[in-house]
Chains A and B, each alone.
Chain A
Amino acid sequence: MLDMVLKISLICISIAMLALIYRVIKGPTIPDKVIALDAIGINLVALIALISMLLKTSAFLEVILLVGILAFIGTVAFAKFLEKGEIIERDRNH
């Protein structure tokens, strides 16, 4: 039963990711693409969690945390890049 539910959830998330990938490729503006990527990251978290339940292992919990952090950092970096044109500013007074 649980297996069945997990598989259905996996398929749903995969479809969601494919849709997001379409947005990443297509997305008329860059922020669209960035947001789509961020969402892909979160979907990955879900995906990995589901897979680790399926594989009946707790070895992938770090991966989940890491993806969460990376997705956040990546999105922030992208946002800063889009706003200022650079990620790490040289002049720290502003």
Chain B
Amino acid sequence: MEEWFSQKRRIFIIDFQFVETAIFDSYFIHQGGIFLSLLHLAIFLPFIMAVFVPFLYKGFRKIHTGWFVLIVPALLFGYFLHFIPTVRENEIIKRTIHWIPSLKIDFTAYLDGLSLLFALLITGIGTLVVFYSIFYLSKKREQLHNFYVYLLIFMGAMLGVVLSDNLISLYTFWEFTSLSSFLLIGYWYQRDGSRYGAQKSMLITVFGGLSMLGGIFLLYNMAGTFSIRELITHKELIMASPLFIPSMLLILLGAFTKSAQFPFYIWLPDAMEAPTPVSAYLHSATMVKAGIYLVARMSPVYAESPVWLWIIGSFGIFTMFWASFNAIKQTDLKGILAFSTVSQLGLIMSLLGVGAAALHYKDMDENIFIVATAAAVFHLINHATFKGALFMVAGIIDHETGTRDIRKLGGLMGLMPITFTIALIGSFSMAGLPPFNGFLSKEMFFTGMVRVTEMDLFSLDTWGLLFPIIAWVGSIFTFLYSIMLFFRTFTGKLQMDKLERKPHEAPAGMLAPPIILAALMIIFGFFPNILTYNIIEPAVGAILPELLEPGEHFVGHISFWHGPGIELFMTIGVIALGVVLYLTLSKWGKIYSWFPDKLTFNHLYDQIIKWLESGAKSITKGYMTGFIRSYLVYIFLFFIVISGVTLITKDAFKIDVSNIAPIGVYEVVLALIIVIGSATILLAKSRLTSIIALGAVGYTVSLFFVIFRAPDLALTQLVIETVSVALFLLAFYHLPPLNKHEKGIGFKLGNALISIGVGVIVTLVAISAHSNKLFDSIAKYYIENTHDKAGGENMVNVILVDFRGFDTMFEICVLGIAALGIFGMIRLRLTNEGGKTNEKK
């Protein structure tokens, strides 16, 4: 074994080292700049275009709207291409628009190698997809304006994600991608499957997005900035903080849900209900890579932690295996491609995780782990090319035969020769066969994984062996589904009776984009160093900036033929075992049915949704009984608990008898009458007795006012009591006989306990409040100034109309409203008869 490794180091597939660049001081960072730069305009251009799309659709019905839209990504692609020389020279372009400067939220566009790679992917594949969609979507039947508006929003949002330096603006665009993806998946909203898939992807990605927002705030808490650049400079501070791990986990949750990693991959297969151009664009080439982008982008902040390496590496590699294993049992072309996307994303993710190990070997001529990061970037590009092409092929087959079910397909080779060729290149590249680009990145993947075993940190020397093994097994399944996808569709017998249409070759317009992608696959396969030099080196530099001194940049080289190494033998093993497994599929394919449906994550998701719904429903049903009695119980119990607990915990209860007035006989007698009256109200068997007892209580209260020397209150109380007793009597006549709820002793006891509790608490609070008087009353002012300043003798009335007349005014309003309300209730009765609302007098 040892021999293999040392040998490999010498032949080294991709050979990174450090080179002093000529332009030593060319870090040309533009600060400030309040005005909209061209880069910002590039991000906003799709949004601006989205505004005009509906007008173009209505105004030019004869021209397919896609032709107008095509201008945008093509223009942007050209614009971003011209940055390649700049970025290659390690120049970073930074433009800032102040958005909410007081909250340190700016919209900073930041272009380095990684951003440029993604921007080129987004606009390049975007151009091809728009072109393809012009021929895929019918001008007559489809609502094209909706489609292109959503697609343009997505494109702009995605550009915003990859070009934002400020995490808040990144998050804003991130959610825009979730939203536009939701709209695009649900494009054929009449179908149940589309709505289900759209909802599912929305729930999962927004869940992750919100977690990410939490992580962003934790980062802000630690470093005091939202800018990724500044976060990197504050790395030491962040790593020392106790919030480091929580923020990392939250941000990774966002990345994993977006990039469909295990176990959040379940939304992606259901997102295949979207139109095929959308699947090709969003769900293989761009949006699902936003999570990858985030992981790569945040690597400089987090990657030194072993948790980062372990989580990303292990989740990625397991996703890679699990999804490729599950792809075999799919029968829908797009289903296979969806699982394959998940698997390939897991592969890229695991490479990014393993690449983080490079940071621990600063002595870098021997730094063999950079190759993993380079492989991640390279495979990212390769995956976008072959997956985009394969989705377009699936769309063509669907378009020309009317089905995507591989059980119904077969023998299309002779009928659709061009599609056949593209599919051959695409699926062989996906399987990792030479001479296509997938072969090279698959080899680099193996290199990266094999080298995990060489790491002597984070206990990887013991468990690290699992990485290459899982990677290898996963690759066997990858090979298997790739050739299955290809052979099942194009070879074998043509089953004409099962097809809806007579298949023939697709129109040239539909074939052009996948042909371009297939050409790229071959070009990148034979001349990978076009990419290495222009794109991969700056991108790796952006992911691992720590390893570079200012002015340095990585120099890499991918050779098409790297000599015999362990990777090559692994690939040969993959091919051999894959062929054997393919030929014996009918024998061992049954193992998929052993796996019970109930243990799948889809089932779990459905159950969780169901539990949440039924749980929420039963909780609501449990406490929202519809009886006022229940709500009063909650209110009073809450009152008792809150006041009681406060009284106890704050040690607030206090009895101070120092300033208590002497109690006279009258007070005692009157209090007794009130107690008897109240008891009568509660215990009376007839309603009339209750009303009279209530009146008695009211009159006694007015007597209290008399002996406590409040003549105005006594007057008013008497009149009001009389009027309200009369009103009670008025209502009494119309009421049914008093229906005491004979609910048994438990019910009554509960009521009694609660009412006693409330009474006791209020009494205690009143006593404590009286005993805790902190200040003198302000009444002295009124006594002194009633005559002199307000010109009155009756202090109560002067307070009511002069000192505090505002209260009186609104009390008058209350009475006015009550009177009008009563009038309205009596006079206007809206009844609903025969569907019409009539006014009855």
Contacts and interface: CB of A to CB of B under 8 A. Distances in A.
Contact of A51 (B707, B729, B730): B707
A77 B719 contact: no
Contacts of B703: 44, 47-48
Contacts of B719: 66, 70
Contacts of A86: 733
Contact of A48 (B676, B677, B706, B725): B706
Interface residues of B, number: 30
A66 B676 CA distance: 25
Contacts of A44: 699, 703
Interface string A1-23: 00000010011001001100100
Contact of B709 (A55, A66, A74, A81): A55
B786 to A, nearest CB: 15
Interface string B697-725: 00100110011010100110011001001
A86 B680 CA distance: 26
Contacts of A25: 680, 689, 693
Q: Which residue, B702, B715, B722, has most C-beta atoms of chain A within 10 A?
A: B722
B695 A37 contact: yes
A87 B706 contact: no
Contact of A62 (B673, B699, B715): B715
B666 interface: yes
Contacts of A57: 709
Contacts of A77: 726, 729
Contacts of B702: 63
A63 B692 contact: no
Nearest to A86: B733
A81 B729 contact: yes
Contacts of A33: 688, 692
A37 B711 contact: no
A40 B673 contact: no
Contacts of B722: 70, 73-74
B661 interface: no
Interface string A31-68: 00100010011001001100110010101101100110
Binding site secondary structure of chain B: helix
A85 interface: yes
B730 A87 contact: yes
Interface residues of A, number: 36
A85 B733 contact: yes
Contacts of B695: 37
Nearest to B794: A59
Interface in B679-698: 680, 688-689, 692-693, 695-696
A60 B733 contact: no
Q: Which residue, A18, A55, A59, A78, has most C-beta atoms of chain B within 10 A?
A: A59
B714 A21 contact: no
Contacts of B699: 40-41, 44
B34 interface: no
B628 interface: no
B669 interface: yes
Nearest to B716: A66
B726 A24 contact: no
Interface string A67-94: 1001001100110010001110000000
B711 A21 contact: no
B661 to A, nearest CB: 14
Given A63-B718, A67-B718, A74-B725, A51 B692 contact: no
B688 A30 contact: yes
B711 A60 contact: yes
Contacts of A14: 669
B711 A62 contact: yes
Q: Which residue, A52, A60, A73, A87, has most C-beta atoms of chain B within 10 A?
A: A60
B711 A59 contact: yes
Contact of A37 (B692, B726, B730): B692
Contacts of B707: 51, 55
B733 A74 contact: no
A24 B714 contact: no
A63 B726 contact: no
Contacts of A41: 699
Given A24-B692, A25-B689, A51-B666, A63 B725 contact: no
Nearest to B676: A21
Contact of B696 (A7, A24, A62, A67): A24
B688 A63 contact: no
A47 B726 CA distance: 24
Nearest to B695: A37
B672 to A, nearest CB: 9
A81 B727 CA distance: 12
B198 to A, nearest CB: 63
Contact of A63 (B666, B673, B680, B714): B714
Nearest to A85: B733
Contacts of A48: 703, 706, 714
A16 to B, nearest CB: 12
A17 B719 CA distance: 20
A87 B703 CA distance: 27
A15 B225 CA distance: 81
Contact of A70 (B688, B718, B729): B718
A3 B562 CA distance: 122
A40 B709 CA distance: 21
B673 A21 contact: yes
26 contacts: A7-B665, A10-B666, A14-B669, A17-B673, A21-B673, A21-B676, A21-B677, A24-B693, A25-B689, A25-B693, A37-B695, A44-B703, A47-B703, A55-B709, A59-B711, A60-B706, A63-B702, A63-B711, A63-B714, A66-B715, A70-B718, A70-B719, A70-B722, A74-B722, A77-B726, A81-B733
Given A21-B673, A67-B718, 15 more contacts: A7-B665, A24-B693, A25-B680, A40-B696, A40-B699, A48-B706, A51-B666, A55-B709, A63-B711, A66-B718, A66-B719, A70-B718, A70-B722, A73-B722, A77-B729
Interface of B: 665-666, 669, 673, 676-677, 680, 688-689, 692-693, 695-696, 699, 702-703, 706-707, 709, 711, 714-715, 718-719, 722, 725-726, 729-730, 733
A-B complex: 10 closest residue pairs judged by Cβ atoms: A59-B711, A70-B722, A63-B714, A14-B669, A60-B711, A48-B706, A66-B718, A51-B706, A63-B715, A66-B715
